[in-house]
Structure 1
Amino acid sequence: MRRLHFPSLVLLVAFSLLGGCSAFQSPKLYTLDSGNPEIPERNGVAVLLDPVELADYLKRDTALVQRNADGSLSTVRHAEWAGDLQGNIDQLLLRQLAWRLGSQRLALEPAQGFKPDVTVEVSVSRLDSGPEQPVVLEAQWRLLDRQGQLSDSRLVQLQEIHSGTIADQVRAQSAVLQRLADQMAQAIRPLAQRPASQASRKTAQRSRPKVVIPQPAEPAIPMATPTRNVEVYRF
């Protein structure tokens, strides 16, 4: 039996340990970039943001989804989201809207006692990319006024190219979400400038029942009837 020398045995053990470390390599963690939005110094329009509704394939804990060239989806082995993706998107949109609207009066549902001027609902049906696939965001947003009536709604598809690395894909995903916030902010501004009394008046006019005022009856006019010929006798 051939005996291993001590230096060779040490090298063999070292390579085994290195192989084991590579197999159990800790994943890199990524978060969406909110940009550098300035913190508003005034209380402007009051906006309530409902939690973003994500497509089912994006609800995979912290897994980072990749779209392959054939259209199939897979998860990245050594890359994950640093936390909940839905919460990450909520915070990005909240900070972007506050900055673009110049208001600190923004809240994330649930917010007890908060009376919004505008409520924002967002659903994301697609948000992914791949080494050779651009970032694609497909979403719908809806704006509700003070009375909860639908004021605006839009379907959105945005794309952003990247260099192929995971880090640049995350940057590109952040960019399309920032552009989504910009579109919503442009639609919110006209609603915020509408006086509350005007909106209440229009709602009251729509909901007020019609009152039918009875018309006075026309006076009855007796009809003339022909009289019979009567002979008068004088004595």
Structure 2
Amino acid sequence: MKRLFIPAFLALALAAAGCASAPQSRYYSLMGTDKPASAAARTDFAISLSAVDIPEQVDRPQIVLSREGDAQVTLLNESQWAAPLADEIRNALSHDLSRRLGVLDVSPRAAPEALPLWALGVTVQRFESIYGRHAVLEATWRQEPRQGASGPATVCRAQINVPVQEGVSALVAGHQQALDLLAGLMADKLSGRALQAGQGVTLKGCA
């Protein structure tokens, strides 16, 4: 039986061709683009946003597409989050809250004892990506006063629905907008302002 010998240069060329034909993954972040601060910097209090809880169905590296009125989901292996989704959501909310309130997001261990602190927590009930239709975010958030912060502990819930065009980038931009709207509600509650349900926002109450 004759053996087939492949020249080294040909083997390398075939390997390179195989790599070139393999689809390349794209990575997306929820941080969005920088916007100017909505409030002047202040030092009379700080916030501490804990880790965000998310549904297990979307706790994956891949972007998960939902189908409206259907239990089936699709994992986009070539479209992935730049960091774990829970971290992406937390970092986006932290950035938006700091920008809107003009305060720092600090660890309770790092905060000076004399600095009033609001402990914030977010639990996401729905994070749905419906291709070419909607980015849906439903979340409960809680705020608790620490270290002399003035105000009651509160728990609120809201659902946010952002229409999107076709394309993964448009879908991610829709989730960025939904998170910015959620941060706006959280900032209003911390500031003692009445919550306003804008377009696509459904308030489900505070207690």
| d(CA) in 2 for partners of 1:144, 1:20 | 52
Q: CA 1:20/1:34 → structure 2, altered by over 3 Å: closer, same or farther?
A: closer
**Higher fraction of helix:** 1
The root-mean-square deviation of aligned C-alpha atoms, in Å, is: 2.7
Return 86-95 or 36-45, whichever deviates more.
36-45
1:47–1:106 Cα contact (<8 Å) kept: yes
- What do the CA deviations read for 1:88-141 (whole angstroms, capped 9, x no partner)? 1111111111111122x322x4x4142553111100011121224311101101
- What do the CA deviations read for 1:53-79 (whole angstroms, capped 9, x no partner)? 11111222x111111243411101311
In structure 2, the residue matched to 1:172 is 174
Structure possessing the higher radius of gyration over alpha carbons: 1
| d(CA) in 2 for partners of 1:132, 1:37 | 26
| d(CA) in 2 for partners of 1:121, 1:42 | 22
In structure 2, the residue matched to 1:162 is 164
Deviation at 1:155, TM superposition (A): 1.4
Amino acid at match of 2:45: V
1:130–1:164 Cα contact (<8 Å) kept: no
Deviation at 1:165, TM superposition (A): 0.3
Amino acid at match of 2:181: R
| d(CA) in 1 for partners of 2:18, 2:105 | 50
Q: CA 1:28/1:112 → structure 2, altered by over 3 Å: closer, same or farther?
A: same
| Structure 2, unaligned runs of 5 or more | 1-9, 194-207
In structure 1, the residue matched to 2:30 is 32
Amino acid at match of 1:92: A
Out of 183, 186, 189, the position equivalent to 1:187 is 189
In structure 1, the residue matched to 2:77 is 77
SS in 2 for 1:129: strand
SS in 2 for 1:54: coil
Q: Does 1:49 align with 2:40?
A: no
| d(CA) in 1 for partners of 2:152, 2:42 | 27
How many percent identity over aligned positions?
24
Deviation at 1:19, TM superposition (A): 6.8
- Kindly tell me the number of residue pairs found equivalent between the two proteins: 174
Amino acid at match of 1:21: A
Amino acid at match of 1:27: S
* TM-score between the two structures when normalised by the length of structure 2: 0.73
Q: Does 1:92 align with 2:89?
A: no
* TM-score between the two structures when normalised by the length of structure 1: 0.65
Q: CA 1:44/1:37 → structure 2, altered by over 3 Å: closer, same or farther?
A: farther
2:132–2:167 Cα contact (<8 Å) kept: no
**Higher fraction of strand:** 2
| Structure 1, unaligned runs of 5 or more | 1-9, 192-235
